[in-house]
Amino acid sequence: AQTVTQSQPEMSVQEAETVTLSCTYDTSENNYYLFWYKQPPSRQMILVIRQEAYKQQNATENRFSVNFQKAAKSFSLKISDSQLGDTAMYFCALRRGGAQKLVFGQGTRLTINP
């Protein structure tokens, strides 16, 4: 069975600060993918960043980067120079290779304050 745990239900930072969201997961697979999705108040689920487990290099997308620690089964998301538009629920998700099912964490509600 695969599980994803996000231990921070809520976080709040000031605009322009850097914030890190935590995610741990459990899987017995060696081939899998990890994702961070953003869900703003509009409810739309938007892919922020993805990481292939076989890649050692941490993924980066503009202000968003991850710290992937495979041995520790940890996959944190760092948002640099946070903006008001980053306010949203953030979900960490896991998908094993060869399958399509995404397993989501419970989410972290992030608020960026002006």
Torsion angles phi and psi, residue 84, rounded to 5: -55, -35
Q: Does 33 bind another protein (CB under 8 A)?
A: yes
**What is the residue type of 66?**
V
DSSP bridge partners of 23: none
User: What whole-number distance in Å separates Cα of residue 92 and Cα of residue 6?
Assistant: 7
Judged by CB, which is closer to another protein: 98, or 114? 98
What is the 8-class DSSP label of residue 9? Answer: S
Return the residues of window 88-107 that contact another protein according to CB under 8 A: 91, 95, 100-107
Which one, of 7, 61, 9, 3, lies nearest residue 36 by Cα? 61
Task: Number of residues interacting with another protein: please give it, by CB under 8 A.
Answer: 19
Judged by CB, which is closer to another protein: 78, or 109? 109
Q: Does 38 bind another protein (CB under 8 A)?
A: no
Which residues contribute to the site for another protein (CB under 8 A)? 33, 37, 42-47, 50, 91, 95, 100-107
